Amino acid sequence: MLTVDFSRFPLAPGDRVLDLGCGAGRHAFECYRRGARVVALDRNGEEIREVAKWFAAMEEAGEAPAGATATAMEGDALALPFPDESFDVVIISEVMEHIPDDKGVLAEMVRVLKPGGRIAITVPRYGPEKVCWTLSDAYHEVEGGHIRIYKADELLAKIREAGLRPYGTHHAHALHSPYWWLKCAFGVDNDKALPVRVYHKLLVWDIMKKPLATRVAERALNPVIGKSFVAYATKPHLPRAEAEADAA
SS (H, E, C) 150-191: CCHHHHHHHHHHCCCEEEEEEEECCCHHHHHHHHHHHCCCCC
Q: Please check the confidence at residue 242 and state whether its pLDDT lies above 70.
A: no
Q: Please check the confidence at residue 240 and state whether its pLDDT lies above 90.
A: no
Q: What is the pLDDT of residues 100-126, one digit of tens each?
A: 999 999 999 999 999 999 999 999 999
Res 248: pLDDT: 47
- List all residues 6 or more positions away from 6 whose beta carbon is below 8 Å from its beta carbon: 30, 34
The class level of CATH for 76-173+225-235 reads: alpha beta
User: Residue range 151-176: average pLDDT?
Assistant: 98
Q: Please check the confidence at residue 245 and state whether its pLDDT lies above 90.
A: no
The DSSP bridge pattern shows strands 69-74 and 87-93 to be unpaired
Res 247: pLDDT: 44
User: Residue range 157-173: average pLDDT?
Assistant: 97
Res 77: pLDDT: 96
Res 244: pLDDT: 46
Res 237: pLDDT: 87
Res 209: pLDDT: 94
Q: Please check the confidence at residue 196 and state whether its pLDDT lies above 80.
A: yes
* Ramachandran category for residue 205: left, alpha or beta (phi over 0 → left; psi -120 to 50 → alpha): alpha
Q: How many CB atoms lie within 10 A of CB 166?
A: 16
Q: Burial level of 92, CB count in 10 A (0-12/13-18/19+)?
A: buried
User: Residue range 10-26: average pLDDT?
Assistant: 97
Res 239: pLDDT: 59
The model's confidence at residue 143, banded by pLDDT at 50, 70 and 90, is: confident
27 or 245: whose pLDDT is higher?
A: 27
The model's confidence at residue 98, banded by pLDDT at 50, 70 and 90, is: very high
Are the CB atoms for 30 and 124 separated by under 8 Å? Answer: no
In percent, how much of the chain has pLDDT > 70?
Answer: 96
Q: Please check the confidence at residue 142 and state whether its pLDDT lies above 90.
A: no
